[in-house]
Chains A and B, each alone.
Chain A
Amino acid sequence: MDFNYSEEQNLLADSVTKFIGNDYSYELRRKRTATADGFDRATWNTFAELGWLAVPFSEEDGGIGGGPIETMIVMEEFGKGLVVEPYVSSVILAGTALKVAGSAEQKAELIGGIIDGSRLLSLAYFEPQARFDLFDVNTSAKKDAQGNYVINGSKAMVLNGGTADTLIVSVRTGGGQRDESGITLLIVPANAAGVSVRSYPTLDGHRAAEVQFSNVSVPASARLGEEGKGLAVLQQVADTANLALCAEAVGMMEKLYKETVEYTKTRKQFGVAIAVFQALQHRMVDMFTLHAECKSLLLRAVMTAAVNDPEARRNISALKYAIATKGQKVAHEAVQIFGGMGMTDEMSVGMYLKRINVINTLFGNGDYHLQRFMAA
């Protein structure tokens, strides 16, 4: 058992920590979320130059050969900085789908484009009725006489769907709406005829989109992976996404308890810093403890996932359940202890709360994962 980072991992952690600490203020983030794209393309290019967009990809795909541990290192720091660039949607979600199921040509074109920052991809996996069931897919794709897929239906809450040049879409090519087989992944240009995208902000300052497909035609070569077997790919994407999102949440929890502690040392009431009140001290100790617990579960899940341990999926569910309960608790406590200031849009505390809540719902909430944990 070894809990130490390798030299390369230490270097990666240092570079992300420095960037977030020096060049990614909350003020800047607020300006970025107010732009049309909802993020900063120059910063995205910086991420590419620093090699962060290459982190989870193998060396033969042009990446740095990182895995769950390296992704955790990046995401924990991104959490602290509330990074709003489309890392999760493009690198983690679309990137994992391509990594798992892509052909050599698809990988060369699209993973290459993700890594150098020239392409932005989104994964359109969710439909309004599906809640957390990745297999609940109504959007259909039927083959026409030329062998093209013709897509009809709508996808919801497509993360960064408004800025994506390419969508990876889960469609039904066989079976009924809730069958586990018969799901296929298709790569669709966002500007293809019949695709309409309605982008909107989400409460965490990120962007999502409702996407409609009306007789959208793509060639058979647009298929990602085997026909009808897309669910297994989506499940791997969901596991990877949950690890990344939980790492982000753990980074936020650390920032929340530390900022709360610092705030109470400066905020005076009754003539003293409120840090001296035992009622508040014990609540902050609880925040510290909740963070330590989630960090431990994160390491447990990441370290088992890194070696494909059969327990990994169960560990991920334990982690997600813990983030949903303990993560939210830490954010609520921070808002409470910051008092009126915690209620303002100006302070980052409230934004951490909102982002944690979004993370909790993406790819299964606490109850969903507690049930999956129990069933495993």
Chain B
Amino acid sequence: MDIQFKPEDLAFRDEVRAFLKEKMTPEIKNAVVGGHISKEGMIEWQKILYAKGWVAPNWPQKYGGTGWNITQKYIFENECAEAGAPAVVPFGLKMVGPVIYKFGNDEQKARFLPDILQSNVWWCQGYSEPGAGSDLAALKTKAERDGDDYIVNGQKIWTTYAQLADWIFCLVRTDSNAKKQEGISFLLIDMKTPGITVRKIDSIDNQHSLNEVFFDNVRVPVANRIGEENQGWTYAKYLLTHERTAIAGVPQSKKAIQSIREMARKEMSGGRPLIEDPVFCAKLAKIEVDLMALEFTELRAIASLASGAAPGPDSSILKIRGTEIQQALSELSVEVCGHYAHALNVETPIGNDYAWAVSAKYLYGRAATIYGGSNEVQKNIIAKSVLGL
């Protein structure tokens, strides 16, 4: 057991720092504010990472990964968050990419992976449906064979950034008679295909990131199916497990603690800076302890992955605690800002320059314990797969 950074780790950290210092512009830092994203800013940043070879640290090296060990990944993630770099948009790089290199055929790998790495194509995720939320396998969007195509009909919902997306990866039903998990296939669909309609959903943060996506006789080549017909549930579960390890968001939460501290130095309460209020400080300290625990839980999980184990169901812990901590911090951010947290999103900040985005972030953050398999579903997974209940 050893926690210390070796000289080569420190050299790597310096390299990452120098890179971030050179490349991090205010436009890139502001590419994500609250739950709102600037597509141009994100793509610019991801292309910079790609050019450096650092856009997909978790991918196998032969597909464009970095080959970093866990210490290097840890350093990279932390330095990026510390520098205020936005987290990459997950749908291509962290979700469909791994499914394609794991289960796709050679032609699909050659066709899709380079565009994901280079951020030439923006992906969205077609999983949830009005009748299939936590019970995802109840999905009804149907794909029927017609020669070399599938004809897709149905509806997806809560599709984040569908309005910006070029492609969607979808779970569709290809066998209505089988057990519900066994009749699902995994399709890649071009959003420009005739018959697809995107309708926006305004969310409680007064922003537009969520959508409904309707499929009306949409023709999708069978060549766009990943893996076997009716085996999509296996691939979907693989993706969800990967999504859960990335979902802990530890470096971002560390950064959030820093910014809460900075805000609390400026905000006054009872005639003194809020940071001197012991009740407030105790609240923050308790969350920090939880985050310290989560950080090591994640490191332990990554270390066991690195020694060859598959991401297991205990990655559900990372999702549960990671999102709970994110929410606790966003609640505290709103509390710190007091009255100015109530000013609705406007182009120019009102009041303190830090207060205007905290409510949007807090409100959009309520989704964290719902998406990616709600936290209650995660508990069901642990109960069944880990505790054998």
Contact = CB atoms under 8 A, between A and B. Distances in A.
Check if A and B associate. yes
Interface of A: 1-6, 9, 69, 261, 264-265, 275-276, 278, 281-282, 284-286, 288-289, 292-294, 296-297, 299-300, 302-304, 306-307, 309, 315, 318, 321-322, 370, 373-374
B289 A373 contact: yes
Contacts of A318: 288-289, 292-293
B223 interface: no
Given A261-B388, A281-B383, A289 B317 contact: yes
15 contacts: A1-B2, A1-B71, A3-B300, A4-B1, A282-B376, A288-B386, A289-B320, A299-B1, A299-B300, A300-B292, A300-B296, A306-B1, A318-B288, A322-B289, A373-B289
Given A265-B389, A297-B296, 9 more contacts: A1-B3, A282-B376, A282-B383, A302-B1, A303-B1, A307-B2, A370-B285, A374-B281, A374-B285
Interface of chain B: mostly helix, strand, loop or mixed: helix
B74 interface: yes
A292 B2 contact: no
Nearest to B386: A288
Interface in B267-290: 278, 281-282, 285-286, 288-290
B1 A3 contact: yes
Contacts of A296: 292-297, 300
Contacts of B293: 292-294, 296-297, 300, 318, 322
B389 A303 contact: no
A311 to B, nearest CB: 10
A285 B289 contact: no
B346 interface: no
A292 B297 contact: yes
Contact of B299 (A3, A5, A6): A3
B389 A264 contact: yes
A318 B288 CA distance: 9
Nearest to B388: A261
Contacts of B290: 293
Contacts of A309: 3-4
Interface in B98-155: none
Contacts of B4: 307, 309
A9 B1 CA distance: 10
B254 interface: no
B286 A370 contact: yes
A195 to B, nearest CB: 41
Contacts of B297: 292-293, 296
Contacts of A297: 289, 292-293, 296
Contacts of B286: 321, 370
A299 B387 contact: no
Contacts of A289: 317, 320-321, 382
A288 B292 contact: no
A300 B314 CA distance: 19
A1 B303 contact: yes
A281 B294 contact: no
Given A1-B299, A292-B314, A261 B1 contact: no
Contacts of B380: 278, 281
B364 to A, nearest CB: 25
A101 to B, nearest CB: 27
Nearest to B281: A374
A300 B292 CA distance: 8
B291 to A, nearest CB: 10
Contacts of B382: 285, 288-289
A261 B387 CA distance: 7
B292 A281 contact: no
Contacts of B300: 3, 296, 299
A246 to B, nearest CB: 12
B37 interface: no
Contacts of A322: 289, 293
B2 A2 contact: yes
B39 interface: no
Contact of B383 (A5, A285, A294): A285
B379 interface: yes
A281 B381 CA distance: 10
A261 B389 contact: yes
Interface string B370-385: 0000001001101100
Interface centre among A285, A309, A321 (most CB of B within 10 A): A285
B70 interface: yes
Nearest to A367: B282
A294 B292 CA distance: 10
A328 B317 CA distance: 20
A318 to B, nearest CB: 5
A316 to B, nearest CB: 12
A302 B1 CA distance: 10
A370 B288 CA distance: 11
A5 B303 CA distance: 13
Given A292-B297, A300-B296, A285 B379 contact: yes
B108 to A, nearest CB: 35
A374 B282 CA distance: 7
B289 A282 contact: no
A358 B81 CA distance: 40
A285 B387 contact: yes
A307 B3 contact: yes
B317 A292 contact: yes
Contacts of A294: 293
Interface in B1-56: 1-4
Contacts of B282: 370, 374
Given A285-B379, A296-B296, A5 B314 contact: no
Contact of B74 (A1, A264, A370): A1
Interface in B58-77: 70-71, 74
A242 B74 CA distance: 28
A194 to B, nearest CB: 44
Given A1-B74, A321-B289, A373-B289, A281 B281 contact: no
A370 B292 CA distance: 14
Contacts of A374: 278, 281-282, 285
Interface string B69-91: 01100100000000000000000
Contacts of B389: 261, 264-265, 275-276, 281, 284
A264 B128 CA distance: 34
A208 B71 CA distance: 45
Contacts of A292: 293, 297, 314, 317
A294 B297 CA distance: 9
B292 to A, nearest CB: 5
Contacts of B388: 261, 265
B203 to A, nearest CB: 28
Nearest to B73: A1
